[in-house]
Structure 1
Amino acid sequence: MPEIPVVPAHWRFPAHPVSVPRARRAVADALPQDLRPRLTDELGLLTSELVTNAIRHGTGNRDDDLVELVLWPADGHYWLAVSDPAAHEDARTPAVAHPDAGCESGRGLVLVDHLAAAWTVRPRPVRGTSVIAGLPLHPSG
């Protein structure tokens, strides 16, 4: 008999900065107790950066815009997908930037690139963009 997969955790938050700590807390609370000491900090940072980017760059500043998060374990990783509601013609593909030392922003995906074992950007089928990042369940080495 095949192993039944875990149902992914799923949330929608208003596309507003107050949602960043709420999203981080929700993701941390969804982790199994035995993984919290090792994954909470890194997954919290990934959540903060990706939700902040989705709010800042992937929303139309409308009151009804929502940022969607999905968290699931698969293939030895915990995967986090953060999706924004931007229309495809309005969306900018997220990419790692290399800001000058004096810049106050622009380092979010540098952190994601450093922390995640793998990450990618995928257009959503109808509207918006998802950034998906994975953290390994077991430390390498």
Structure 2
Amino acid sequence: MSASPRNFRAARGLTEAMLIGAGVTPDLVDSAQLVLSELYGNAVHACGDYVPLVAEVESTAAGVWVRLHDPDRHRFPHRAGVRLDDPEAESGRGLPLMDFLAPGWDITLTPVGKQICCLLRHGRG
């Protein structure tokens, strides 16, 4: 898919439908959509509108895997030093939120870019 508002809504909708169909709890579905949204937004910020993205969402016994692949091998998510509970922050909460929902998320370089991979464990969302 290319990064666009229409495709973003479609990715969130497909994520919800697939996970509900797999019997994932509503809270974990919401968390997976939130993480996918953060990854998607970061990719658009780093790479620009209409960049080609590959999103994967998978329900397993361990939890829900969310993976997003983008073509930029040089820009990586960076923490802005913002805490989730900072009432003055206008942005920068996305990565702390990912740290909370999917601790240990990882970045892997691929031949055509990078993939960010997150596991949201059952009982965490």
**TM-score past 0.5 threshold:** yes
Change (3 A) 1:107 1:38: closer
Alignment correspondent of 1:93: 76
Q: Which residue of 2 aligns with 1:8?
A: none
Bigger mean CA offset, 33-42 vs 97-106 = 97-106
Shift of 1:28: 1.1
Q: Does 1:42 align with 2:27?
A: no
In structure 1, stretches of 5+ residues that fail to align are 1-12
In the other structure, the counterpart of 1:68 is 54
Deviation per CA, 1:88-137: give whole Å up to 9, x if none.
Answer: 3xx2121332148645322211111111143111111x121111111113
Q: Which has the higher helix share?
A: 2
Whether contact under 8 Å (2:20, 2:29) holds in the other structure is no
How big is the shift at 1:54? 1.1
Query: TM-score by structure 2 length?
Result: 0.79
Q: What is the percentage of aligned positions where both structures have the same residue? A: 29
Does the CA contact (< 8 Å) of 2:107 and 2:115 recur in 1?
yes
Larger Rg: 1
Structure 1 position 27 matched with structure 2 position 10: no
Matches within 5 A, 1:1-141: 13-33=1-21, 34-57=23-46, 59-61=47-49, 63=50, 65-74=51-60, 76-86=62-72, 88=73, 91-99=74-82, 102-124=88-110, 126-137=111-122, 139=123
Q: Please give the TM-score of this superposition, normalised by the length of structure 1.
A: 0.72
Decide whether aligned partners of structure 1 residues 74 and 37 sit closer, same or farther in structure 2, where only a CA change above 3 A counts: closer
Q: Which amino acid aligns with 1:77?
A: G
Runs of 4+ that moved beyond 6 A: none
Q: Do 1:55 and 1:84's aligned partners in 2 also have CA atoms closer than 8 Å?
A: no
Contact 2:20 2:26 in 1 (8 A): no
Q: How many angstroms apart in 1 are the aligned matches of 2:105 and 2:63?
A: 12
SS in 2 for 1:72: strand
* Paired positions, count: 120
